[in-house]
Chain A
Amino acid sequence: MSVQQRDAAIVGIHEFPSRDVEGELSPLHIKAQSASKALADAGLTWSDVDGIYDAGEGGASGLTIAEYFGLSPTVIDTTNVGGSSYQFHAAHARRAIAAGKARVALLTYGSTAHSNVARIGTGGRGMGGYPADNLESFAGLTLIANYAMCARRHMFEFGTTSEQLAEISVATRFHAMRNPDAVRAMEDLEFLDIRETTVDDVVNSRMIADPLHLLECCMISDGGGAVVIAAPDVARDCRHKPVWILGTGEATKYPEGGADITSSAAVQSGPIGFGEAGVGPDEMDIAMIYDSFSITVLTILEDLGFCLKGEGGHWVEGGRLRFDQPSEGPALNTDGGGLSSNHPGMRGIFLLIEAARQLRGESTAQVEGAKLAVAHGNGGMLGSRHSAGTVVLGGD
C-alpha cells in the first residue's frame, strides 16, 4: 500500500434541511445559509475562506458568489460538469491546498428546482451539447428515458432484471426512513405511502420510461449544502475530526464511436481515485453513489470495481447494500439518496456530506466504525454525455 497523502480534509458540512422553500428563497440564499452553517460546523468563519468552489448554475459567476458572500478569495473555481461538479470541486480544492494556493476552500450548492417546477426528469432533454443537441432534440428523449436506455441495454447484455435494480431503491428507502430530513422531504413533496419498500413495491410502481419504474427515479426537490475543505494544520484545530481526501479521479464520456452505455466514465475516474488513495473498492465501508436512477448506481458499482461488469444485478441482491449488513460490503447512500431524500438537480455535494457524516460517526444510518468511503458523482446523462468524479475519503 502506497503512503496516503493527507493534504486536505473535509472539516465542515451542512445540508440545507428544507426540500420545499415554497418560492421564498433563492439558490443564492440557500448557498449563503449553508456556507455559514458549514463554516460554523468547522469552527471557522467567513474571513478564513480563501478558495470558493461553486458550479455557477443559473449564471451566478465566481465574482457574484465572492461578492455575495463578502469574500476576497485567492482561488475561484466554477467548474460545472452537472451533478458531479462537487466531486470535481473537492479534487480541485485538494490540489489548490496541496499547492499552497488556498488553506480553506468553501464548496456551495443551492437549488429551487422544486419551487421552479423545473421538471428535471420528464420535461425536455435536460442538458445537451450543441451541435450534438441539434441532431437529437427532435426525438423527445426525456432524461429518464436516457437512463432507461442504459438499463435496457444492461438487461439485454447481462440478463439484469427489474427486481435486481429494485434492490437499490429498497436499500436507499430503508436508509431514508431513518433520516428525519428525508422523511420530512417525502412528506413535503407529497409522496404517497411513506414507508420502507419491497422489491415488489418497486417493480409494481408505475412505469415512467421502460424499463424504469417510478420508484427507481429520484425526486425533484429544493435544497443545497456546503462543504469546507481545509489544509492539515487548519483541520487539526477544527471542531470535528478531519475527514481526509485520500484520492480523486475525474472523467467524461460521450456517444462518440458507438460507446458502450452499459459502462460509465467511472471506469476511468475510479482507478485514478482508488489508485491515488492506495485502497480498493473492497475496503470501502460506505458507497455514496449518485442515485439519479437505480441503473446509475448499478452501473457505477460495477465500473468502480465492487463487482465485475454485468454481475451487478446479482451482486446487489439480498439487501447487501443496507447499513446493517456491513459484512456484505459497503452501505449505499445512507442518507436516503436522491431516490428518497433529496435531488435538487445536482446532488453531488450530498455525497460528500453524508460520507463525511459516516466517517465522523454522525449518520442516521451509521455503520459502526466506518473508516473508508467513496463518494462518486455522475453529471449530465448516463446514456449519452456525462461526467464522473470519484472521491475516496478516510476517517482520521
Chain B
Amino acid sequence: MTEPTRPLPNFEESDTAPFWEGTMDRQLRFQRCNDCDTVIFHPRRHCVGCLGHDLIWHDASGQGTVYSYSIVRQSYHPFFRQHLPYVVAWVDLDEGPRLLSNVVGIEDPSSDVHCGMAVRVEWEPHGDYAIPLFRPL
C-alpha cells in the first residue's frame, strides 16, 4: 500500500499552468491587467475589469494575512484524515490575490491561528512543482 498523498492539481491545465510553472522557481504568481490594473485571480485569459486580454504575470512577495480560517477536525479523505486537525485558510496576499491554502508550522491550531495574522508562503515540493502553504511570520 502506498501512502495516500495530497490531491494535486492538474499542473498542465491551460489557465493555471503558468501559476504552477512559477512554483518550480518557488514564485507565487498572479496576473494583473496591463490596461486597467485589475488583479485577476484565479488565472484566466481575459480581464474581468475591462474588455482587454493583456494580462501580465507578476511575482508576489509571498507575504499575506489570514482573512479567515477553519480547523478541520473531520474528513473522509484518505490523505487529510491522517493530518487532522489541520488548518484551512483564505490568505490575502499583500498584492491583492486571495489564496486558499493551509496554515502550517503551528503547535496548537485552537490558539495559534487568528484572522488578520501575518503569514508567509512556504513550499511543499512535488516533483519539480510545489504547493504553496503558509506559516506564521
Q: Which A positions have Cβ atoms within 8 angstroms of B?
A: 119, 122-124, 130-132, 134-142, 144-146, 148-150, 152-153, 156, 206-212, 255-258, 261, 383-384
In which size bucket is the chain B interface? Answer: 35 or more
Is there an interface contact between B15 and A141, defined as CB atoms closer than 8 Å?
no
In the bound complex, residues from chain B placing their C-beta under 8 Å from that of A210 are 70-71, 73, 109-110
Q: Is B57 an interface residue (CB 8 A)?
A: no
Q: Which residue of chain A lies nearest to B71 when distances are taken between CB atoms in the complex?
A: A210
Q: Which residue of chain B lies nearest to A153 when distances are taken between CB atoms in the complex?
A: B68
Is there an interface contact between A132 and B68, defined as CB atoms closer than 8 Å?
no
Q: Count of A-B contacts with CB under 8 A?
A: 119
Q: Measured between C-beta atoms, what is the minimum distance from A137 to chain B in Å?
A: 5
Q: List 27 A-B contacts (CB under 8 A).
A: A122-B74, A123-B77, A131-B42, A132-B42, A134-B15, A135-B16, A135-B100, A138-B6, A138-B8, A138-B9, A139-B100, A140-B72, A140-B86, A141-B100, A142-B72, A145-B70, A149-B70, A149-B88, A152-B69, A152-B70, A153-B115, A156-B115, A208-B74, A212-B70, A255-B98, A256-B48, A258-B96
Expressed in whole angstroms, the Cα–Cα distance for A124 and B114 within the complex equals 24
Expressed in whole angstroms, the Cα–Cα distance for A126 and B39 within the complex equals 27
Q: Which B positions have Cβ atoms within 8 angstroms of A?
A: 6-10, 13-16, 19, 39, 41-44, 48, 67-77, 79-80, 83, 86, 88-90, 92, 96, 98-102, 109-110, 114-116, 131
In the bound complex, residues from chain B placing their C-beta under 8 Å from that of A148 are 70
In the bound complex, residues from chain B placing their C-beta under 8 Å from that of A383 are 68, 90
Expressed in whole angstroms, the Cα–Cα distance for A341 and B96 within the complex equals 42
Is there an interface contact between A149 and B68, defined as CB atoms closer than 8 Å?
yes
Expressed in whole angstroms, the Cα–Cα distance for A138 and B83 within the complex equals 13
Expressed in whole angstroms, the Cα–Cα distance for A384 and B98 within the complex equals 11
Residue in contact with A135 in the complex, picked from B14, B19, B86, B110, CB distance below 8 Å: B19
Is there an interface contact between B80 and A140, defined as CB atoms closer than 8 Å?
yes
Is there an interface contact between A209 and B73, defined as CB atoms closer than 8 Å?
yes
Given known pairs A145-B88, A149-B69, A258-B67, the reply for A134 and B10 (CB within 8 Å) is yes
Q: Measured between C-beta atoms, what is the minimum distance from B42 to chain A in Å?
A: 5
Is there an interface contact between B99 and A135, defined as CB atoms closer than 8 Å?
yes
In the bound complex, residues from chain B placing their C-beta under 8 Å from that of A139 are 88, 100-102
Is there an interface contact between A142 and B75, defined as CB atoms closer than 8 Å?
yes
Expressed in whole angstroms, the Cα–Cα distance for A261 and B89 within the complex equals 13
The 3 A-B residue pairs whose C-beta atoms are closest, nearest first, are A148-B70, A153-B68, A145-B70
